[in-house]
Amino acid sequence: MWSFTSWPLARLEDYSINMAPTATEVTLRRLAADVIIWHGIVYMLTHCKTGILQQLVMVLLSVSSVHFRLKGVLERAYCTQTRPFNQGSRLTAFELVHDNIPATLIADSAAAALMKFGRVNAVVVGADRCVSAKHHNIPFFVAVPLTSVDLSLSSGEERIIDERSPKELLNTHGGLGEQFAASGISVWNPAFDVTPANLITGIITEKGVITKKGTDAFDIKGFVQKEAVQASA
């Protein structure tokens, strides 16, 4: 019988155990740790499970957790279920448990309550939960390699948002099981949204941390150009 829980584990375990982090990932995890370390004891919230090029959150919390734990600051990691495809409960939770990191799985809708009760003091996502963090004055960082940044766009609002399969909301098991929603209901299932710059504390890249220009904009293109000049000097 097909198992929703065990389906991804063979591939995930092979990746988690046998693949070493790239140089970019090593740099990102160090910079991310240095940026967040000033909090002292860290209770961190992460959302979803990013891909191979953007699996920076897990590099920070899982494979690279030694950087935190040697400093004695990573007390607990919270991961969201990440409906409808449940990447958090299927993948992120597996990696956290596999690497013996104190971790707690929460429903997506519980993130704001977690912040309200003071049980999290930092949020790091791969490239995704910020309004609640802003309301509760919790630093919100995006960790992303520069190769994932589209410098041709003047704003994230120009980004075309892909839509995922309606079955992820209509069917059980993230779209792979039987339909349980009413037939005839329409579905809007965007893959992601665009996070306003005023809700982000900083963008962590392998070349350093990008800070805001003013209160509502990041000059990412200027940052990249400056790094290119310094590299060629």
Catalytic residues: 128
> Do the Cβ atoms of 148 and 78 come closer than 8 Å?
no
Query: What are the distances in angstroms from CA 5 to CA 8, 77, 107, 125, 177?
Result: 7, 21, 17, 23, 13
CA distances from 92 to 12, 100, 122, 153, 207 (A): 10, 12, 17, 30, 26
Cα-to-chain-centroid distance, residue 184? 34
Sequence letter at residue 100: N
